[in-house]
Structure 1
């Protein structure tokens, strides 16, 4: 067998930390870490917005009748304002001087859920749809901040990083401070609401309106289903005017059609067979599938006869 060649020990060249190339990649690493940290903070804030918005929607579902309870509306309004002034304001500060579309996927779920809650509130109070301009106005804030805010946020999130990264931040901080002289001014920050996010939030509203229509029957309110039906028909006529829409909008448009179909079938049942069905059975009949309305009612009546 041929003698095995011994691999010569490779000479290791020490890395010069002061090399411009190394410093450049250190800077790239710092920028990526800062971006990922901001993304994670936005995801957590979005999750909090989603939770609080769902609680507001559950509260609004307690409203019944054509004249809603003022106390519940006021409580829901306070919850919405708390979401805006705490969680969404924090998101707006995170997005200050940033491209909002770069982080849109991080806070999109919370924004859509908030739009759903706000639009549900406006419908119950005013019987109309909230506009994109109204939503954007509520998510525009005047805050007192300085050029140090972004640096402070970065420093607080990088305490475990290496000393070299801290020195880079310190250098950037000194340059910015020398240019702005630490002037604190009131400036406008906002959570940017793209039209697509607004549309997706409104599409989610249709499910809540469907539940409102069916639930109101069990509470003796037989007018709300017909009002919701007319409103959903107007919404569908607006949605179908969209041409080449994305996959997510198409999926939610399908959900809108299903919700409208359930409400229309419920209104048909109330109008045609409402006098036949006892009031205590209306909710069970309307909650069943559209094709099961007749069979469920006949089976229940047969069971009662037995």
Structure 2
């Protein structure tokens, strides 16, 4: 009788723990669903860059406003997820965060033509850039996947820029993506997902090179500024 009571007590506690964890997962799912929807809005808004140079600045401004809304969502996640359980629940926001890294990096490149650092992206989302054993932070691999997604989008932009007669943009994209490609080659990538994304970068580089080469043989590349030279 004593053993049965002990076993019942132990498994009752197990069930209580499982119920609490399930409740926490539901809260996390709800928050992530809201924040993920914001990222999808940003993706749609930034599509204008492929059709109109004039629409780029307003699109970036609108994306910035959406990032502020996402920041509030990440604050909820930070409050909800126990400090010691970041990687236990990481899959709930991993792909969503990779998309935000892509969107923020793309927006900053469109605005300033520079690489958004890991720290900058984390700051936009209002989370820590320091990878610790405890606490909510921006995982470095999520950031890197976001950069690779940005390269794919820029290779598409290089093609569409030519279609609308902007021959300077592909050169700018080519220089930037080549530098990023060189940076990635310094890494010893062991994560399968990240490695596959990096393998796809060579196709983005090839597409951009073909655009620049085509402009070159057609004599359409903008001449360098003599003053700048």
The TM-score, its normalising length taken from structure 1, stands at 0.62
The Cα of 1:103 is off from its aligned counterpart by: 0.9
1:221 to 163, 166, 182: 166
The answer (yes or no) to whether the contact 2:74–2:125 under 8 Å persists in 1 is: yes
1:30 to 11, 16, 37: 16
Q: Identify if the C-alpha distance between structure 1 residues 74 and 244 changes in structure 2 by more than 3 Å, giving closer, same or farther.
A: closer
The Cα of 1:217 is off from its aligned counterpart by: 1.8
C-alpha separation between the residues in 1 aligned to 2:198 and 2:92?
Answer: 23
**1:74 corresponds to:** 61
The Cα of 1:69 is off from its aligned counterpart by: 4.4
Q: Identify if the C-alpha distance between structure 1 residues 69 and 252 changes in structure 2 by more than 3 Å, giving closer, same or farther.
A: closer
The answer (yes or no) to whether the contact 1:57–1:120 under 8 Å persists in 2 is: no
C-alpha separation between the residues in 2 aligned to 1:75 and 1:61?
Answer: 12
**1:293 corresponds to:** none
C-alpha separation between the residues in 2 aligned to 1:24 and 1:140?
Answer: 40
C-alpha separation between the residues in 1 aligned to 2:57 and 2:146?
Answer: 25
Tell me which stretches of 4 or more aligned residues in structure 1 moved more than 6 Å.
13-16
C-alpha separation between the residues in 1 aligned to 2:28 and 2:151?
Answer: 27
Matched, 1:57 2:43: yes
Q: Identify if the C-alpha distance between structure 1 residues 214 and 47 changes in structure 2 by more than 3 Å, giving closer, same or farther.
A: farther
C-alpha separation between the residues in 2 aligned to 1:227 and 1:261?
Answer: 15
Q: Identify if the C-alpha distance between structure 1 residues 44 and 210 changes in structure 2 by more than 3 Å, giving closer, same or farther.
A: farther
Q: Which moved more, 1:119-128 or 1:28-37?
A: 28-37
Residues 103-156 of structure 1 deviation map (CA, whole Å, 9 limit, x = unaligned): 111210111111111111111111111111122233337xxxxxxxxxxxxxxx
1:266 to 186, 205, 211: 211
3-state secondary structure, aligned to 1:193: coil
C-alpha separation between the residues in 2 aligned to 1:207 and 1:191?
Answer: 28
Q: Which moved more, 1:101-110 or 1:31-40?
A: 31-40
Larger radius of gyration: 1
C-alpha separation between the residues in 1 aligned to 2:55 and 2:111?
Answer: 7
Matched, 1:232 2:218: no
**1:110 corresponds to:** 96
Matched, 1:100 2:86: yes
User: Hey, which of these two has a bigger chunk of helix by percent?
Assistant: 2
**1:210 corresponds to:** 155
C-alpha separation between the residues in 1 aligned to 2:142 and 2:29?
Answer: 16
The count of residues paired between Structure 1 and Structure 2 equals 212
Unmatched 5+ residue regions in structure 1? 1-12, 142-189, 276-306
Residues 36-73 of structure 1 deviation map (CA, whole Å, 9 limit, x = unaligned): 332343344334433322321332231344x7743322
The answer (yes or no) to whether the contact 2:74–2:126 under 8 Å persists in 1 is: no
The answer (yes or no) to whether the contact 1:88–1:191 under 8 Å persists in 2 is: no
